[in-house]
A and B are shown apart, each in its own frame.
Chain A
């Protein structure tokens, strides 16, 4: 069996007395698209933040490509090949769309201030790499007409696409998407779903989608993990999960 790209083992997060996440286990395999769903307050975002190093887990481990990344800061995790998008889109407001996407490739190599001042070959190669990747993903995701614009001048739907392009420019092995459908209309959701599937297939990266929008998730993912009250209650194909009594109760009952 191959090593999963992401393995979450016995992950628990406490905020004071509150157990936001307790003892959650799951894996994401290479090239897999997985949805992480659950009702509001189920702990989805907390799991997400613990994976990406935004908060430290109380106990448990996060393994990325077989290596323990628990407790690493987000920038180190990013440099190892994981990227993410934000629920409330966070594009860089003073950069153009193209430069935003170029930022995605920032962690592709290390090259400090002195290397930049001296314009050493490594600096030039990194810049070229960033530009190539940016142009590639901008063209692939249909942003070419907007490449020179200030990123925050785009409508929300395109801002999300630009954020996905930025995340892809790091050539990640795993991309975390935090509620990518939030604030989009039906048509935009449909387009984004298609775009995510093709992007994942082309770049060979696995996706972990957090959302409570069932429509987008069910249309795109191959497997769904359902959490409620900080615990995993189901893990399986969309069809299986949809008829799981525990899931139905979490969403409709009580």
Chain B
């Protein structure tokens, strides 16, 4: 390799690195002042690019369009904090992160409805040919991007070192309670952090967009890379995200140029997991073990959760099984596939209830386990001629192993690393599914999977598939119930209120979280296997982030701690797009897609806000106490 090519790669890496550095700084601002990971950060960047492009298309000069786009994103970020995050005072961290997922879909829905999914571009700030520096050609826009980042870096340093607000932000990050005693309002800082993060993100998008085209779905990728850069450099340090972002840009450019352009994304997420394993505080973050940024999870329930089986549970299960049987017999044919998809979704959500609801760990990567199950079933039944049930079990074993290994790395750390790391896992899985065509069939996937069979009986008709899925869903529910209504369920709830007290009772916290993650991976894997058998095809497209969003919405709608709710939530999220399709009829499909996103976003944000508003909480708590009081009264009356 010659020096010129090397330098050329470095230049493009630096330019992308500047983008990641911006986004990483924005992540850091929000995390340092509120402890949250703002999942919508990448989408705010995408929105910045889109807004600037739209204004410039409408004839606005860049000098106005670019700052206005950044200010627009700042307003959205700040407004989002003020109207959605701040009022949700009783929300758990997982719920708050889910609200930011809601914002992410809202932004994508709005962009899709307004401008469609076609790429847009902001014209370069200065016209002219690439500038040559001794054989290395540099686009003027790349210089703009790097130059503006340098200015922002200097401004950030000045802000944190020299201004009262910057000092207050650092103080509040170090000790929120202490800071509030000297008159620093943490909510004001949250507002500032979200607005500033929106500004940084929007500005980055608008300045970067002339180099590459902006599209509605680039936000997630930019978001994860910015986050990875921030972790690499040190999320909780002032300049770590900056240095980490630039390093990540270079790493990306060099792996794409010299290692593999196909697996470049997978390598980046592998790097994220490696950094979390070896140096969770980042390069600038010092070497002390795990970070300690987790506020104790708030209490989700207003009354004591039952952790032993009651008669109600048994009646419920029997009624449920009978109802599922009757439904299968009387359901009109058009609804059978809806019921099948609902059942497959419910299995995943049952896993999430235990993982996110009971143990307070948010995974955004469950579709990765669906893919492991789906592809294992496809490969082993089609290529190796295995019986489907064996292939399904292999899928479970693979998924659970991956979850155990990943959990071992992540759960040593306090905080919400699982949400981003699991997203990284999903991206790796998607990359492998698309690129490793020898095994996975590439983008078009595996075709010709036969329907599921058991003991030689092929279950091919829609009704047979319905009963198969219903059986697996009921088994998942029973397994989930047996976990929730036992010492394990108690230990999970205990761990979430006080990890140290749970450990003092002999609970092995990391091991338990790992095993619950493995359980949730197993149910998702079964769902994926059945999906492949039902549609007779697996390819990467249904396992993207849309699937994650659907699962999170189902979890939120059904209730974080309700295994029964998993079915209701899944039914709603599976049926809703169909209903929208019927209502809209022949309307433009792009608009429908946009409206669907907006609807899911509103659902997520609205429900979490309703669940965590203090008023509703107090009401439920009062009712709960009355219930408890009547129990006490009854026990006193008993002889």
Contacts and interface: CB of A to CB of B under 8 A. Distances in A.
Nearest to A166: B505
A52 B497 CA distance: 20
Given A90-B501, A106-B487, A126-B487, A75 B515 contact: no
Contact of A116 (B486, B505, B635): B486
Given A99-B304, A149-B304, A92 B487 contact: no
B545 interface: no
A183 interface: no
Contacts of A75: 503-504, 506-509
A92 B300 CA distance: 12
Interface string B466-506: 00000000000001001100111011011011101111111
B155 interface: no
A146 B504 contact: no
B55 to A, nearest CB: 50
Interface in B304-335: 304-305, 307-308
Contacts of A83: 504-505
A153 B519 contact: no
A74 B515 contact: no
B505 A95 contact: no
Contacts of B503: 73-75, 78
Nearest to A126: B487
A52 B506 CA distance: 12
B625 A94 contact: no
A123 B490 CA distance: 14
Contact of B506 (A102, A107, A118): A107
Interface string B619-632: 00000110011011
B482 A117 contact: yes
B486 A123 contact: yes
Contact of B632 (A113, A126, A148, A166): A148
Nearest to A73: B503
Given A75-B507, A78-B506, A116-B488, A94 B300 contact: yes
Contact of B635 (A112, A118, A148): A148
A86 B635 CA distance: 30
B486 A103 contact: no
Contact of B505 (A94, A107, A150): A107
Q: How many residues of B sit at the interface, in one of the four size bands? A: 35 or more
Interface string A100-124: 1011101110011100111100010
A107 B631 CA distance: 29
A99 B303 contact: no
Given A148-B632, A149-B304, A150-B304, A78 B504 contact: yes
B301 interface: yes
A94 B299 contact: yes
Contacts of B629: 149
A146 B632 contact: yes
A127 interface: yes
Nearest to A167: B504
B312 to A, nearest CB: 16
B486 A127 contact: yes
B595 to A, nearest CB: 38
Interface residues of A, number: 48
Contacts of A149: 304, 625, 628-629, 631-632
A245 interface: no
A37 interface: no
B490 A95 contact: yes
Contact of B504 (A52, A145, A153): A52
A92 B498 contact: yes
B498 A94 contact: no
A84 interface: yes
B420 interface: no
Contacts of A31: none
A113 B516 contact: yes
**Chain A interface SS verdict (over half):** helix
A184 interface: no
A113 B507 contact: no
Contacts of B487: 102, 106, 111, 116, 123, 126-127, 130
Given A111-B487, A113-B516, A116-B482, A92 B497 contact: yes
Contact of A113 (B483, B494, B500, B505): B483
Nearest to A169: B505
Contacts of A147: 632, 635
A12 interface: no
B2 interface: no
A94 B359 CA distance: 12
Contacts of B488: 112-113, 116
Nearest to A113: B515
Contact of A106 (B305, B496, B505): B505
B118 interface: no
B636 interface: yes
A25 interface: no
A104 B504 CA distance: 9
B307 A84 contact: no
A219 interface: no
A170 interface: yes
Contacts of B300: 94
Interface string A41-60: 00000000000101000000
A93 interface: yes
A86 B483 contact: no
Contact of B500 (A90, A146, A152, A153): A90
A116 B490 contact: no
Nearest to B630: A148
B500 A92 contact: no
A170 B635 contact: no
Nearest to B303: A150
Nearest to A96: B304
Given A113-B483, A166-B505, A170-B506, A95 B304 contact: yes
B358 to A, nearest CB: 10
A237 interface: no
B624 A150 contact: yes
Nearest to B494: A92
Nearest to B482: A117
Interface of A: 52, 54, 73-75, 78-79, 83-84, 86, 90-96, 99-100, 102-104, 106-108, 111-113, 116-119, 123, 126-127, 130, 144-153, 166, 170
30 contacts: A75-B503, A83-B505, A84-B504, A90-B497, A90-B498, A92-B494, A92-B501, A94-B493, A95-B307, A95-B490, A99-B304, A100-B494, A102-B487, A103-B490, A103-B507, A104-B505, A106-B506, A112-B488, A113-B512, A116-B482, A116-B488, A117-B483, A123-B487, A126-B487, A127-B308, A144-B635, A145-B632, A145-B635, A150-B624, A153-B625
Interface of B: 299-301, 303-305, 307-308, 479, 482-483, 486-488, 490-491, 493-494, 496-498, 500-509, 512, 515-516, 519, 624-625, 628-629, 631-632, 635-636
Listed from nearest, the 9 A-B pairs whose CB atoms lie closest are: A107-B506, A96-B304, A90-B501, A78-B506, A148-B631, A92-B494, A90-B498, A74-B503, A93-B497
Given A94-B300, A113-B515, 15 more contacts: A52-B504, A74-B504, A75-B504, A78-B504, A78-B505, A91-B497, A92-B497, A93-B497, A94-B304, A102-B490, A106-B487, A112-B488, A119-B482, A130-B487, A170-B505
